[in-house]
Amino acid sequence: MAAKADNGGQPRGWADGRRDGLARRGSNGTGRFNLVFDADDTLWHSNIHFLEAEAQFVEAMKRAGVAAGEHAVRSLVRRAELEVIETLGYGRGPYVVALRNVVRRAALDEGKRTQLAQAVEEIGRRLMEQRCELLPGVEATLSVLAQRHRLLLFTKGQFDEQHGKLDASGLRPLFSHVAVVREKDLPAYRRLLSEAMLEPEHSYMIGNSPRSDINPALQAGLGAVYIPYPQTWEREHEEIRSTSRRLTQLDSFHGLLELF
């Protein structure tokens, strides 16, 4: 990592004046940057809701008399989830479809299958209705950053679902550009640069996922700020493949105020 923050969110590694130089080198000499934010598990809690739903499903499988242990059930869910992502993409709706597929494939008599199917619909209903709470410091930090820089939102998932979360968060007025994509890979970042008219050297991606937020952003020429989240989905885990001086790790979202 180029720099890392302590628990107070103050970035280490800037004593050489890099932080002040960063501010002076903003877009068009104005000191302003394009700050591109991930949504799920960067601005608001998300994966914890899937973990809760999965735990409820494991218990429902036990009640239905499925012999497979917890690890085996979770493996079945993950396999079904990855299959559904290939056709429907990411999101709560596709996740519920994956749970239904696990039930459909389970070796159960009709009565137990009906019982489990009903449980899945209740789990799905609760998941779909779950409100995403903002992470600590997000609203206050973004409100200040929006006065200094251009803020954008770049997230993957279901279009309606992600826009619904954004509207519920109250943060939409702070973002000048919102993009919901199927996958946040290198081509998606290149499209974002073009559509939002971003200069890579004056743009930074901020997120919790090495796989979707950090590695492809750096590959596309943006800077990146990695803010780890304790319950990040394991599919998003990946070794960060860069030692770029435009890569920073923070321990708190509030630390962005010191960085930018």
CATH code at position 173 = 3.40.50.1000
Question: Euclidean distance between the first and final Cα of the chain, in Å?
Answer: 17
C-alpha distance from residue 9 to each of 35, 134, 171 (Å): 18, 18, 22
Categorize the per-residue pLDDT at 233 as very low, low, confident or very high, splitting at 50, 70 and 90: confident
Q: Which pLDDT score, from 0 to 100, does residue 106 have? A: 81
Segment 185-191 mean pLDDT: 97
Each residue of 14-25: pLDDT tens digit?
322 234 334 334
Q: Which pLDDT score, from 0 to 100, does residue 165 have? A: 95
Q: Which pLDDT score, from 0 to 100, does residue 29 have? A: 56
Q: Which pLDDT score, from 0 to 100, does residue 30 have? A: 63
The total of structural domains in the chain comes to 2
53 and 161 in a single domain? The answer is no
CATH code at position 81 = 1.10.150
The pairing of beta strand 247-249 with beta strand 34-37: unpaired
Contacts of 96 by beta carbon, 8 Å cutoff, 6+ apart: 120, 123, 124, 127, 128
pTM of the model: 0.85
112 and 238 in a single domain? The answer is no
Contacts of 60 by beta carbon, 8 Å cutoff, 6+ apart: 116, 119, 120, 123
Each residue of 100-147: pLDDT tens digit?
999 988 877 788 888 899 999 999 999 999 999 999 999 999 999 999
140 and 246 in a single domain? The answer is yes
66 and 91 in a single domain? The answer is yes
Q: Domain ends where: 129, 145, 165?
A: 129
- 3-class secondary-structure state, position 134: strand
